[in-house]
Each structure stands twice: as structure tokens, then as C-alpha cells.
Amino acid sequence: MAITASLAAGLVAAAPSPASAQVPRSAQRWASLMHRSLTPTPQYLRVRKTLTAERASLATRSRRVTTARSAQNAAQAALTTAVATDAAARTRYVLAKEALTSARNRLIVVSLQRPRDAAAVTRAKGAVSAAATAVRNHRVRARTAGTALTTARATSRRTTVALDRAIARWRTKSATVRTYQRRLIALDHSAEIAAQAAAISRGVVTEVQAGFTVADTTTVNGITVHKSVAFAFRRMLNDAQSHGIALSGGGFRTRQQQIELRQINGCPDIWTAPASSCRVPTAIPGRSLHEVGLAVDLTSDGASLTRNSAAFRWLTVNARKYGYVNLPSEPWHWSITGA
């Protein structure tokens, strides 16, 4: 059952002959179930396509919310500044008017004094003129600040409304995405169908072993397997590759190759010693699922899988949906029953 990476490559069988025995009905059923499980229905594909588009639209609306929130924050900061500037300008304008009043009163006082002090009157008139100029300047600044405040308030209201609208549109689109997610989940029966295949896997092994011939095998990416598992196995290798996991290894081997492997792995007796008594656990000839193409010893990057390898972790999460189960004592060994 177990095999090193180098032996896995060396024990792959030659290409099968054209003639083929009738694939057992249970194996046909298993293959049909796995094909259904791994092949989305047209309705599922339509909903998934729509969901992809809706998610893209949601991402766009999320960006618009972010932009609108930034604009609203900037507008609020500008409004805060405008309020403070307006208050300060109006305060200075009021103080300037009070200073003008005081200057005028001072001019009246010095003008009525006797004897008349011409220099004091001149100074008082200069103070009135300066105060009047200050009033005019502060009045302009107060009006400018008031106009800026009005604009800032309008901008703040506009950006707040825009943010509220952006959030409302995002929420609407988010609800739409959730609706399509629920529809997609409702249409996905892959796990249920794969479980049906798993439930008959032991019967598949029994029937395949009863009438197996080498002609019932085929090659998938250089690995020889039983024809009934070829579709699911190919999908597993291709999907693993799409996730950056390159899988290879050995599948079918003949009875003679199983005998030779028992000898290589130091089993005390070829026909009677239990698999665990070998240096590397190896099934008794006639009992290995490799001999009917229903088990594979997988490698990745030229090495047998270990529990710490990325390939093993990926298979642990994903292999069952392709009909493959790991033999706990051998991280590299995967079959349709886990045996």
C-alpha cells in the first residue's frame, strides 16, 4: 500500500490494452454521482455568474461609500473651521464698532474742552478715521466669513446626503448579494451527492475486485487509475494545480508489482504477514486497492506527502469532494474508501 516517491514512479503500469471488461454497475453509479457532484447545473452557473457581477457591483459601491465618507469628513472639518472663522470675524467687527464709538466720543470731549487743544483734536480725529477704516475692513471680513460659512454648511449638507445615499445603495446591493448567496447555496447539492458516492464506495471496491482487468484502467496525468474514478481524479489534480498544488505519484500496480513491493519493504512473509509488519506498511497481494486502480500514492514536488506539506493540507480540506479519503497512517495514500 505504501510506496516511496521513487517507487511510485517506477511501479505505474504500462498503458492498458484496448479491450475492457464491463465496469461494475456500482462503479458506474459512483462515477455518475461524482460527475454530477463536480459538474454545476446550468441554473447554478447562471446564479454564480450573477453573484459574481453583484459582488463586483457591491465592491464598487463600497468604494463609493469610502469616497463619500472622506468627502463628508472633509466638509465637516471645513464647516468647523468656517464656524470658528465666522465667529472670530463677527467678534472683531463688533469690537471695531465699539472702538469707533469710543473714538467719536473722545473727539467730542476734546473738541468741547477749553482752552481748545488743537493737537488733541487732530489726534482724536485721526483715531476716529482709523477706527472707521478698521470697521469697514472688519465688516468686509465678517461678510466674507459669513459667505464662507454659508457655503460650508451647504457643502456639509450635500456631502451628508451623498454619504447617506451611498450607504443606502450599498445596503441594498449587500442584501442582493446575500440573496444570491442563499440561492447558490440552495442549488449546491455537491456535498450531498458526494456523500451518496462515499456511501457505496465499499461496494464499488468489492465489485471491481471481483471482475477487474487491466483494461479497466486509464491514465490521468501520467497516473494509472480505474476508469470509474478518472473524471473525479482528473478534476482533483487540475483543481489542486489551480491552487498552486502540483500532485503526481503512482496509482495502479499489478499483482506482481505488489509482490515485489512487499519484498522491497521487508515484509516477513509475502502472503501472510500483516501490512504493519513491513518496514513500510504494504498490503498483502490481492488486498491492495492499488491493484484495481482505486488508490493512489501521491507526491508533490517529487516527494511523498507528509502531514506538514501544503499538498496534504489542501487534500485534507478538499479531497472528499472528489471521492478520495486518506489512510490515516500514510499521508500519501488516498483511495475511495480510505483503505
Segment 189-205, tens digit of pLDDT: 999 999 999 999 999 99
> What whole-number distance in Å separates Cα of residue 234 and Cα of residue 34?
12
pLDDT band at 246 (very low <50, low <70, confident <90, very high): very high
Average pLDDT over residues 46-57: 98
**pLDDT value at residue 8:** 39
Q: How far is CA 283 from the centre of its chain?
A: 41
**pLDDT value at residue 336:** 95
Segment 159-182, tens digit of pLDDT: 999 999 999 999 999 999 999 999
With contact defined as beta carbons under 8 Å apart, do 226 and 293 qualify?
A: yes
pLDDT band at 226 (very low <50, low <70, confident <90, very high): very high
Give the residue from 330, 336, 310, 294 showing the smallest Cα distance to 247. 310
Segment 99-135, tens digit of pLDDT: 999 999 999 999 999 999 999 999 999 999 999 999 9
Segment 57-66, tens digit of pLDDT: 999 999 999 9
> What whole-number distance in Å separates Cα of residue 302 and Cα of residue 138?
84
Segment 294-322, tens digit of pLDDT: 999 999 998 999 999 999 999 999 999 99
**pLDDT value at residue 276:** 84
pLDDT at 21 over 60: no
With contact defined as beta carbons under 8 Å apart, do 270 and 258 qualify?
A: no
With contact defined as beta carbons under 8 Å apart, do 171 and 133 qualify?
A: no
Q: Cα dist. 42→39, 47, 259 in Å? A: 9, 9, 48
Query: Residues with Cβ < 8 Å from 71, sequence gap 6 or more?
Result: 159, 162, 163
Average pLDDT over all residues of the chain: 91
Segment 140-165, tens digit of pLDDT: 999 999 999 999 999 999 999 999 99
pLDDT at 9 over 70: no
> What whole-number distance in Å separates Cα of residue 330 and Cα of residue 339?
10
Segment 258-301, tens digit of pLDDT: 888 888 888 888 888 888 888 888 888 888 999 999 999 999 99
**pLDDT value at residue 272:** 83
**pLDDT value at residue 282:** 85
Please give the share of the chain, as a percent, with pLDDT higher than 90.
81
Segment 203-222, tens digit of pLDDT: 999 999 999 999 999 999 99
With contact defined as beta carbons under 8 Å apart, do 305 and 269 qualify?
A: no
Grid cell in block for residue 228: 470509474
Grid cell in block for residue 89: 470675524
223-226 and 217-220: which strand pairing?
antiparallel
The least confident of 19-33, 232-246, 274-288 is 19-33
Strand-pairing partners, residue 296, are 334
> What whole-number distance in Å separates Cα of residue 37 and Cα of residue 230?
14
**pLDDT value at residue 207:** 95
